[in-house]
Amino acid sequence: MVFFTDKNFNSICDNLAIADPDLQSIIQQYGYPPFWKRVASFETLVHIILEQQVSLACALAALNKLKEKVGEITPVNLLLLSNEELKACYFSKQKIIYTRNLADAIVNGEISLNELNTMDNDTIRSTLTKLKGIGNWSVDVYLMMVLQRCDIFPLGDVALITSIKETKGLAKETSREAIAIIAEKWKPYQTVAAFILWHSYLCKRKRQAI
């Protein structure tokens, strides 16, 4: 397993920029991307579920509302809430189901976050995607931002796909398969290339990552 850290992050960005003038242009214009890092916790997985198919701001609002309600976001505390209480925290019907499933799996010992963090990427993916509501995008975010695994490129992320099309001047109808071939050139640091592209997407739209 290959990781990146805050110590080597900028140097990896520099190496990618040397190999790819388009990534170099992003760094020259906007600077280095943030070193996005999240804690390996139940709260983080809930946050990732909340981010599915909504804006980052909406997901954070729901997470913060849940924090106001329960204090510490733990599996047990979430399971103690009724569906109505979760709805009042801006949880949709589907996300209530997904987060309850996750909480149950942790409480019942089906998943151990500590063990998860020592697994290889494929094992983590197969373990998490067994749970309803956790797909490849959610796993990709966990691998990239929680575990700092170097070589992940989430083709299911709309902002990332938009950014690579903008950066490379690709047609809107460019397939994900074609994009995957481009991303292969950034191995073994596809994750860091994705961070650079996300950074470009946010800066162009004058948004801040949350």
Q: What is the pLDDT of residues 50-71, one digit of tens each?
A: 999 888 889 999 999 999 999 9
Question: Structure tokens of 120?
Answer: 């290889």
24 touches 17 (CB < 8 A)? yes
pTM of the predicted model, to two decimals? 0.93
Provide the domain count of the chain: 2
Domain that holds residue 189: 9-36+152-204
Q: Tokens 């796993």 map to which residue? A: 139
129 touches 170 (CB < 8 A)? no
Residues 91 and 187 placed together within one structural domain of the fold: no
Give the list of residues 6+ apart from residue 13 with CB closer than 8 angstroms, or none. Answer: 23, 27, 32, 33, 192, 195, 196
Whole-angstrom distance, CA of residue 139 vs CA of residue 120? 12
Provide the residue type at 31 as one letter.
G
| CATH number, residue 91 | 1.10.340.30
Please check whether residue 160 lies inside any domain of the structure.
yes
Q: What is the pLDDT of residues 153-193, one digit of tens each?
A: 999 999 999 999 999 999 999 999 999 999 999 999 999 99
